[in-house]
Chains A and B, each alone.
Chain A
Amino acid sequence: MNRMLFTAATSLVLVTASAAAQQQATITGRVSSDAGVALPAATVFIESLGIGTQTGNDGRYSLIIPAARVTGQRVRLSARLIGFRADTAQVVLSPGNITHNFVLATNPLRLGEVVVTGAGTATQTEKLGSVRNVVEAEQIQKSNEPNVVQALAAKAPNVEVTESSGEPGASSYIRMRGARTILGSTQPLFVVDGVPIDNSSYSTTNFNPTDGLTAGEIEGTAQMNRAIDLNPSDIESIEILKGPAAGAIYGARAGQGVVLITTKKGKAGTAKYGFQSAVSFDNVSKDYPLQRSFAQGINGANPTTTCTPGNGACFRSWGLPVNGPTYDHATEAFDTGNTFDNTFTVSGGTERTTFYGSASFLKDNGPFVGPNNEFQRASARINGSQRLSDRLELRINGAYADTRGHFTQRGNNTNGLLLGLLRTPPNFNNNPYLDPATGQHRSYRFPEPQAGDEAADRGFSNPLFELNVPENTSTVGRVFGNLGLDYSALSWLRFNYTLGADYSNDERLEGAPLDGTGPTAGGRVTEGTIVNFSLDHNLTGTAEWRANDNLAGSVTLGQNLNVRNNRQFSVVGRGLVAPQPYRLANTINRDLPIDVQTNIHNESYFGQATVDIANQLYLTGAIRNDGSSTFGEDNQRAWFPKASAAWTFTSYLPQQRWVTYGKLRAAYGEAGVEPLAYLTSNLYTGTVLLAGISQGTGLSPSQGGFGGLYSAITKGAEDLKPERTKETEIGFDVGLLRDKADFSFTWYDGISQDVIFLTPLSPSSGYYRQAQNAAKLQNRGLEMSLNLRPITRTNYGWDVGLNWAQNKSETLELRGVDFIRLDPNNNPPFGIVQKGQPVGVLQGTGWAKCGVSPDVVGTTNIADACAGAPRGAVYLNAAGFPILDPTERIIGDPNPDWTGSIRTGFHYKTLGISALFDLRHGGQMSDGTRGALRSYGTHKDTESRATCVTQAGVLTCTGNEKSWGTSNWYPGPVVGPGVDPATGKGRAVPIGENWWRVNGASDNCVFSGAREACVEDAGYTKLREVSLTWNVDPRLVRRVIGVENMELRFAGRNLFTWTKYGGYDPETNLGGAIQGTRGIDYFNMPQTRSFVFSVNLTK
């Protein structure tokens, strides 16, 4: 190794010395498209000499070859630009000037382009045996998304992206080709420049299990997904490996797919400067429908005394018609947010050295009033390469990000913004949020706090108080990057080494004031840190061989070592001493600290061989052997094979008129999901004992000063092995009508076996549960892309792209249980896995229905009434109302039927306009927000309501009559004594407080009622992106502001959503990017739309 470095250093000196000589060769020329347009930023290079440059805005280039290397030899001069076919010319190098012009043909199919396939391997587009989905820098730029995951929305078929809300910094969830695991993450592995990075999310609320009656992910604040630390402007391209057929080279970490991100690099040539500045304005995309006609109260009467949190008359809005002013709670918490995003880049280099540097600062002042919605990211990146010798190149890529978020409490949480806001009676003024007399937090359930009430519960927080007073922050410092070496040992053999690192420290604070609500009353401070650090070592050797023009190939062998460490440390303090600051030291009591560490080691070897036959049939075979510390001792190593074939059949067939290019491809691969750490060990624990838990705080196993331990209730699974998805993928890509159109079709079938879940054990066996490889899932589907370029003229052009995809998920096997919940601590409805059903179907209660419910529901026999009735007919009792079937059943499926996107762009000279529509058909959402607000009487649905009064202790209602089974009120068949024989529909019944709040089968669904009644269609069509760009005349720009190029863009993001969904937005999820359960809306933060104006300067 030393010798190698020495040689490298020597040759560097020699090169530098000889460059001083005068006998150099200069190659100049122009690169233009076949339409005659000058092509800027094209790379012109001589690969054998490692010399290259870039064309300027006029398409001209100039390459200088030092005299020492000019020996009259014949070299290959190449020109390359993405979107065009590369061209190569033979040039004889001799001192003096040489001229060569290139005319590049457009290459919409990207043939010949290098495709990064992971773990140090690469191939070319036409050789790829699986479908290629690439997202280019320009598409990411145009999305105007600060979060790279969100920028992938609607970019490729079967890449499902869900933004948890429009709050600044809120996580985005990404899933490709369905859920293939139960316990693990269903999101893909993110790899940046060859190094896996962390894209996890963590809820601060999980630092506080004492108050966490439910899982932290469904309350607390928004959580970032850690890929948000990546500045999207630094991204050159993203390759999406959707399934094991493509990603098997990543073995046990690729079961949910892989996202390969390549960052920008400098190119030889004069330094280029870029400055990109964007300002955007965003607001909440919808006003929530609320009623403003009826006042606070219950049983048709207003509260008779000043409200206190314990007064049941004050919770809801079932009072008299409002007599006096009302307040617009749908809008009072929101204003127009703004985002400033500035990035400065500089790149360039010589034939031996390249560099790319960027510095950026983004600040998003979110669309809520007050300071508690803000996201900012300062980031810097430096990517450099140095050719140490003709054979050895050193690369260094590194980025630092300082990411900060200020959040507001949300979700299923009495401190939550929308829970308090949308439940506020219309006649209550949330302003001022501090009581003028005492300065204390006032809320609609506690409007007049008195001296001494500082630490009293507020019932629900005043939303404006939540937006201003508490402090919920996440402050992250992150550094990630890698050091790489490329060594071309022989003409046919090269080595690649990458050592990558990823470190982040996330400091969390949740400071709840003295006059907080619920468990935070009296003040509460949660402080914690999440530290993540990982190292990745990847060494590959690739040998290429060529027997003759018709037979060639390569062999790659590699080794990967990966170390991941995660530490979570936190303490909850209770009872603030002074009102401020929110620090642990300023609290009276502290809970026991949480201190959890996870260390994972992977050790893997892989090999890949390719054979190219007759330049039309390309075969690839690969295998990876993974070892992981998370596997059971008896199964510590696992093999993951892959094979694919691509056949360019148009090379074989005679030239076709319609089909100008065609490729058939087939691939098979296996990849997995590694078990969670430490499931294999039999452990002892010192946590509170099970016996007596519901009887108080319980007994700790340590007593009287003696430490106690007992066997953990989860039995170690010594023979646990990785989950394994075996996927077959078949498809074709065709270029039609002289590349005016291309079409891609893919069918895949993935069986995920050995899927791990915590199987319940008989407690009498000594344990409660054990992780077992006991489930089998299937995801199969179709993916299609059609791109049309009807007009491609020099001055104007029009193109359209369509994507369509379908994924069908089914649980094939679930050993030992009938169903399991994806997230055990949630409130209903629960996302579950059940045999024969798609993963994640929603389980909950519903109305007694024929063919769905048991014959006897509670004490009511519905079988007789149901005889002969259609399946699903709603049973109505004598009063005309449905009854509740308490047996939990499957009531919805959040998985979409199909997804798609439509992209179109039109340009005329320097003007361009483009739009991107995101389509999602089917898939359901449990709209608990609506259910709760119906019970609270604030939802717009309750504005038309029966008049209800209490007569002799009974709520009696008249008016607003509806009949079940009619078009305006739960249409569909009905049966039972409540059916009016005259109409065949339900008896007309008054719908008011009696139904929405009181009736046990009510469609208020989240409290006592039928959960099923809240399930809604969550399909949508979104105008994701629209942008208008203008490339200002370069001559003008150069003269006036001295830069080479100026692009102005006016864009919109999420401007319109067409949906039947009644809540804020069908794109949302309570559990954010953390939970496997999808399709839950419960006072989730709203989505936003944005208008963006940006200026892009380059010099």
Chain B
Amino acid sequence: MRRTVAALLGAVLIGASAGGCKDFLNEEDVAQDPNNPTKATRDQLLISAQTALFGLQESGVAQTACMWMQQCAGTGGRFVEQRGTNYQRLTSDYNNDFSQLYIGAGLVDLRKIQANADAAGDKVYVGVAKVLEAFLIGFGADAWGNIPYSEAAGDNASPKFDNQLEVYAALQTLLSSAITDLDGAGNGPGAFDLVYGGDKAKWKAAAYTLKARYYMHTAEGPTRGTFVAEAYQNAITAATSGIESAEGDFRAFHGPATSERNIWYQFFTASGFGNDLVAGARLVDLMKARNDPRLSAYFLPNELGDYGGLDVNTSTPANQISALNLEPEYRQPLLTWAENQLILAEAKFQTGGGAAAAEPHVNAVRQAVGLAPLAVGEVTLQSIMEEKYVALFQNVEAWSDYRRTCFPVLDPAGAAAEIPGRVYYGQAEENANPNTPTVAEQDAANGGRNPNDPSACTP
């Protein structure tokens, strides 16, 4: 009997010890990764999202645009040369850039920030995140044209590609609601705002300038040299509420720490390919001709003590080529008062105001950098666009301006008939998303350009 009891006791023990371990599989340190957080605050996400946007606008696509716009030039290694002079593009080239639009610190996290801030009733915060989303996705639409947006970063494993013009339209709506939100309740991100330190008026102004920029992107008419007046009108309306002074410039944040440095600077010092990117002859020559005081800010003197750039079609002696003038902590201007002014200048010039309407804006920009004002007669579409070309050094917007107006006049490298109007989708997207157009399809559609760019700028 005693033994039977002991035996039963043993059996019960098995059951008892099982019951005692109810949370054995779900204890905090086993169910959750102890190495990485499983939660993040909207402030933490916002810091990353801003940084990703800065990095994106200073790396791959921006360098390519700088070369293709001949503000910079590739030399030496094939790494840069192929992309700068022969316009060779690979799907692997912009894979990281394309992915960054959507993955962590991209759209997926901007949406989390919005949801989180919305739940907390901080409309200002929501507005800031929406402006960042519009800036990020607009950058994607500028470079890749049709991109996933309406179904992106959601439940759909294979989001469809939206037409570029629909994306721009959606971004206008988004920016409008961002402006409304910025007037709403809440404290906003405060010091976690690396751009404006929580100044919501500046965010609103930036939102308006961004709206103006995207209206401009839809201004190219169906044939070369024609323009869409409505787009210009909308741009004028938006830019009128846009960035009011250089204090309101949207600039990237950078610091002295290794992982805070300006990406252009990092490329030159830490990529191993830094010497492959130098000053472009087109910009240097233009600035020299204008006696532009920004020359020394943009470039370093060459070995002869002068400034010079590499011409993609003639080889410039090495000692005549300037290097780019780069500082690790340089806060790259991404959206500026100058751009806002020159948007007004171009739009007013094109919508009947002519030189007289454009002149104050052009000269405001010239005056700000210490250049003599232009006479009204000197204000032409070309001079406005050249003014913008110089002002938007290292800014991808110069490429959009060129695609729309074909100014400044550029001689495509080598045997190429035109400068490419877009880059290819990333390899990772191509591999996993069956909706991704193939390289052949991308090349075939609209002459390899985006929907907002019906005509090529052939010389």
- A residues in contact (CB < 8 Å) with B: 1, 3-4, 487, 489-490, 493, 495, 537, 539, 541, 557-559, 561, 595-597, 599-603, 605, 627-629, 636, 677-678, 681-685, 688-704, 706-713, 760-768, 816-817
Q: Is the CB of B103 within 8 A of A713?
A: yes
Query: Which residues on the A side are within 8 Å of B13 (C-beta)?
Result: 1, 539
Per the bound structure, the CA–CA distance linking A406 and B110 in Å amounts to 50
Q: Is the CB of A489 within 8 A of B6?
A: yes
Query: Which residues on the A side are within 8 Å of B7 (C-beta)?
Result: 489-490, 493, 495
- Of listed A691, A692, A816, residue having the most chain B CB within 10 A: A691
Closest chain-B Cβ to A832's Cβ sits at a distance in Å of: 14
Per the bound structure, the CA–CA distance linking A596 and B33 in Å amounts to 10
Q: Is the CB of A691 within 8 A of B18?
A: no
Per the bound structure, the CA–CA distance linking A595 and B40 in Å amounts to 20
If A561-B21, A627-B25 touch, whether A761 touches B97 (CB-CB below 8 Å) is no
Closest chain-B Cβ to A316's Cβ sits at a distance in Å of: 23
Residue of B nearest to A716 (CB): B38
Q: Is the CB of A636 within 8 A of B266?
A: no
Binary interface encoding of chain B residues 152-173 relative to chain A, with 1 for a CB under 8 A from any of its CBs, else 0: 1110111100000000000000
Q: Is the CB of A489 within 8 A of B431?
A: no
Per the bound structure, the CA–CA distance linking A693 and B44 in Å amounts to 21
Closest chain-A Cβ to B173's Cβ sits at a distance in Å of: 20
Q: Give 14 pairs: A residue, B residue, CB < 8 Å, sorted on A.
A: A1-B9, A627-B24, A684-B104, A689-B55, A690-B100, A692-B263, A695-B267, A701-B52, A706-B194, A760-B432, A762-B429, A763-B426, A763-B428, A768-B99
Per the bound structure, the CA–CA distance linking A618 and B47 in Å amounts to 67
Per the bound structure, the CA–CA distance linking A1090 and B433 in Å amounts to 56
6 A-B pairs with the lowest CB-CB distances in the bound complex, closest first: A696-B266, A708-B47, A766-B108, A700-B259, A763-B99, A762-B433
With beta carbons under 8 angstroms apart, the residue of A539, A690, A695, A697 that contacts B99 is A690
If A690-B99, A704-B194, A764-B148 touch, whether A599 touches B59 (CB-CB below 8 Å) is no
Q: Is the CB of A684 within 8 A of B194?
A: no
Query: Which residues on the A side are within 8 Å of B6 (C-beta)?
Result: 3-4, 487, 489
With beta carbons under 8 angstroms apart, the residue of A628, A683, A697, A706 that contacts B36 is A683
Q: Is B289 an interface residue (CB 8 A)?
A: no
Q: Is the CB of A539 within 8 A of B17?
A: yes
With beta carbons under 8 angstroms apart, the residue of B18, B26, B39 that contacts A684 is B39
With beta carbons under 8 angstroms apart, the residue of B59, B100, B260, B266 that contacts A703 is B260
Query: Which residues on the A side are within 8 Å of B104 (C-beta)?
Result: 684-685, 710-713, 766-767
Q: Is B269 an interface residue (CB 8 A)?
A: yes
If A683-B36, A691-B59 touch, whether A706 touches B192 (CB-CB below 8 Å) is yes
Per the bound structure, the CA–CA distance linking A764 and B137 in Å amounts to 11
Q: Is B270 an interface residue (CB 8 A)?
A: yes
Closest chain-B Cβ to A769's Cβ sits at a distance in Å of: 9
If A708-B44, A708-B51, A761-B157 touch, whether A597 touches B35 (CB-CB below 8 Å) is yes
With beta carbons under 8 angstroms apart, the residue of A629, A710, A760, A762 that contacts B48 is A710
The majority secondary structure among interface residues of chain B is helix
Query: Which residues on the B side are within 8 Å of A711 (C-beta)?
Result: 40, 103-105, 108-109, 112
Q: Is B314 an interface residue (CB 8 A)?
A: no
- Of listed B107, B108, B267, residue having the most chain A CB within 10 A: B108
Query: Which residues on the B side are within 8 Å of A766 (C-beta)?
Result: 102-104, 106-108, 152-154
- Of listed B98, B156, B258, residue having the most chain A CB within 10 A: B258
Query: Which residues on the A side are within 8 Å of B253 (C-beta)?
Result: 703-704
Q: Is the CB of B429 within 8 A of A764?
A: yes
Q: Is the CB of A599 within 8 A of B29?
A: yes
Q: Is the CB of B263 within 8 A of A696?
A: yes
Query: Which residues on the B side are within 8 Å of A708 (C-beta)?
Result: 44-48, 51, 105
Query: Which residues on the B side are within 8 Å of A541 (C-beta)?
Result: 10-11, 14
Query: Which residues on the B side are within 8 Å of A764 (C-beta)?
Result: 101-102, 147-148, 152-153, 159, 429, 433
Residue of A nearest to B192 (CB): A706
Residue of B nearest to A693 (CB): B96
Q: Is B444 an interface residue (CB 8 A)?
A: no
Q: Is the CB of B158 within 8 A of A762?
A: yes
Closest chain-B Cβ to A699's Cβ sits at a distance in Å of: 5
With beta carbons under 8 angstroms apart, the residue of B37, B60, B103, B106 that contacts A709 is B37
Closest chain-B Cβ to A1092's Cβ sits at a distance in Å of: 45
Residue of A nearest to B46 (CB): A708
- Of listed A684, A699, A708, residue having the most chain B CB within 10 A: A699
Per the bound structure, the CA–CA distance linking A561 and B6 in Å amounts to 23
Residue of B nearest to A764 (CB): B148
Residue of B nearest to A631 (CB): B25
Q: Is the CB of B258 within 8 A of A697?
A: yes
Query: Which residues on the B side are within 8 Å of A816 (C-beta)?
Result: 432
Per the bound structure, the CA–CA distance linking A692 and B54 in Å amounts to 10
Closest chain-B Cβ to A5's Cβ sits at a distance in Å of: 11
With beta carbons under 8 angstroms apart, the residue of A539, A629, A699 that contacts B263 is A699
Query: Which residues on the A side are within 8 Å of B304 (C-beta)?
Result: none
* Further pairs besides A691-B60, A701-B105: 15, Cβ < 8 Å: A3-B6, A489-B3, A490-B4, A558-B14, A627-B25, A677-B33, A678-B35, A681-B31, A682-B38, A690-B100, A695-B266, A696-B261, A696-B265, A697-B266, A767-B103
Query: Which residues on the B side are within 8 Å of A694 (C-beta)?
Result: 59-60, 96, 271
With beta carbons under 8 angstroms apart, the residue of A681, A683, A693, A701 that contacts B51 is A701
With beta carbons under 8 angstroms apart, the residue of B10, B26, B267, B270 that contacts A487 is B10
Q: Is the CB of A691 within 8 A of B271?
A: no
Residues facing A in B92-124 (CB within 8 A) are 96-109, 112
Q: Is B43 an interface residue (CB 8 A)?
A: yes
Closest chain-A Cβ to B265's Cβ sits at a distance in Å of: 8
Per the bound structure, the CA–CA distance linking A487 and B33 in Å amounts to 40
If A559-B18, A691-B96, A765-B102 touch, whether A678 touches B33 (CB-CB below 8 Å) is yes
Residue of A nearest to B32 (CB): A681
Query: Which residues on the A side are within 8 Å of B158 (C-beta)?
Result: 762, 765
If A601-B25, A677-B33, A816-B432 touch, whether A699 touches B260 (CB-CB below 8 Å) is yes
Q: Is the CB of A539 within 8 A of B14?
A: yes
Query: Which residues on the B side are within 8 Å of A690 (C-beta)?
Result: 52, 96, 99-100, 103, 105
Residue of A nearest to B107 (CB): A766
Q: Is B30 an interface residue (CB 8 A)?
A: yes
- Of listed B101, B109, B255, residue having the most chain A CB within 10 A: B109
Closest chain-B Cβ to A757's Cβ sits at a distance in Å of: 13
Q: Is the CB of B38 within 8 A of A681?
A: yes
Closest chain-A Cβ to B314's Cβ sits at a distance in Å of: 24
Q: Is B58 an interface residue (CB 8 A)?
A: yes
Closest chain-B Cβ to A714's Cβ sits at a distance in Å of: 10
Residue of A nearest to B10 (CB): A495
Q: Is the CB of A684 within 8 A of B103?
A: no
Q: Is the CB of A696 within 8 A of B269?
A: yes
Per the bound structure, the CA–CA distance linking A557 and B194 in Å amounts to 62
Per the bound structure, the CA–CA distance linking A83 and B261 in Å amounts to 74
Per the bound structure, the CA–CA distance linking A768 and B104 in Å amounts to 9
Q: Is the CB of A683 within 8 A of B37?
A: yes
If A696-B269, A763-B428, A765-B102 touch, whether A685 touches B36 (CB-CB below 8 Å) is yes
Per the bound structure, the CA–CA distance linking A682 and B36 in Å amounts to 10
Q: Is B56 an interface residue (CB 8 A)?
A: yes
Per the bound structure, the CA–CA distance linking A605 and B156 in Å amounts to 39
Query: Which residues on the B side are within 8 Å of A712 (C-beta)?
Result: 36, 104
Per the bound structure, the CA–CA distance linking A454 and B119 in Å amounts to 61
Binary interface encoding of chain B residues 425-439 relative to chain A, with 1 for a CB under 8 A from any of its CBs, else 0: 010110111001000
Per the bound structure, the CA–CA distance linking A765 and B433 in Å amounts to 9
Query: Which residues on the A side are within 8 Å of B49 (C-beta)?
Result: 710
With beta carbons under 8 angstroms apart, the residue of A685, A689, A702, A704 that contacts B52 is A689
Per the bound structure, the CA–CA distance linking A89 and B46 in Å amounts to 83
Per the bound structure, the CA–CA distance linking A710 and B156 in Å amounts to 20
Query: Which residues on the A side are within 8 Å of B257 (C-beta)?
Result: 700
If A684-B39, A765-B158 touch, whether A699 touches B29 (CB-CB below 8 Å) is no
If A684-B40, A699-B260, A766-B103 touch, whether A710 touches B45 (CB-CB below 8 Å) is yes
Query: Which residues on the A side are within 8 Å of B18 (C-beta)?
Result: 559, 603, 605
With beta carbons under 8 angstroms apart, the residue of B4, B25, B153, B265 that contacts A629 is B25
